[in-house]
Amino acid sequence: MLFLAAALVALDQLSKAWVVANLPRDGTEIPLLLGFGITHTRNGGAAFGILRDLELTVAGVTIDGTVLLGLLSAAVSVGLVYYLVRNRKRLTLLPALATALVLAGAAGNMIDRFRLGYVIDFVHFKVGSFDFPVFNVADACVVIGAGLLLLASLTSSGEEGDAHVKRAPLPRNHKLDDVPEPPPLGGRPTDGH
């Protein structure tokens, strides 16, 4: 899954490089099918431009929203790599794929934030009066990955405990087996004590 995430980050960065090299930022749009188009924009905030004007001062140092979001993306990326490596043998396919997609999205936009100070967006979807904010491959990876994680949690059986990690059964004669059952809430033990 780490190779998949790396390939998606490469696709994200190559697609952004193509847009920068071939499209001016003057609103020119290349129409595609079904309401999609390609246009070159810059996003200094989070997804869909939120948190664009955020500034945080810590110990006299002012951190703008782009750096803060870059640091958050880096922390998420490191956490997801650790999670994937630690659980590589126990993760089922759907949650592993979803986690790899979220990792790719976080890393792709993190690279832009640290390298450029903004994120390059270029995919535009507009049908009639519906005008979706411009996004990129990394954003699509995060949204699809989050959707797959939600789907994985909804389709897993409740008996497994954690929806996406296969758990080994507890060993027999576990120390909790010797602990008596607690009395019912607000009641007394039923064995006469």
Whether pLDDT at 164 is above 70: no
Q: Nearest-5° angle of CA 188, CA 190, CA 193?
A: 70
Q: Of 12, 121, 162, 177, which one is the catalytic site residue? A: 121
What is residue 192's predicted lDDT score, i.e. its pLDDT? 54
pLDDT, mean of residues 166-176: 63
Beta carbons of 105 and 145 less than 8 angstroms apart: yes
What is residue 189's predicted lDDT score, i.e. its pLDDT? 58
Burial of 93 (0-12, 13-18, 19+ CB in 10 A): exposed
pLDDT range class, residue 141, cuts 50, 70, 90: very high
Which residues, at least 6 apart from 69, have a Cβ–Cβ distance to it below 8 Å? Answer: 45, 46, 51, 109, 113
64 is catalytic: no
Question: How confident is the prediction for the chain on average, in pLDDT?
Answer: 81
Beta bridge partners of 43: 119
pLDDT range class, residue 14, cuts 50, 70, 90: very high
Phi, psi dihedral angles at 130 (to 5 degrees) = -80, 120
pLDDT range class, residue 170, cuts 50, 70, 90: low
| Residue ranges covered by each domain of the chain | 2-176
What is residue 152's predicted lDDT score, i.e. its pLDDT? 86
139 is catalytic: yes
Beta carbons of 67 and 157 less than 8 angstroms apart: no
Give the separation between CA 44 and CA 51, rounded to whole angstroms: 8
Q: Of 53, 64, 139, 177, which one is the catalytic site residue? A: 139
How many Cβ atoms are within 10 Å of 47's Cβ, its own excluded?
18
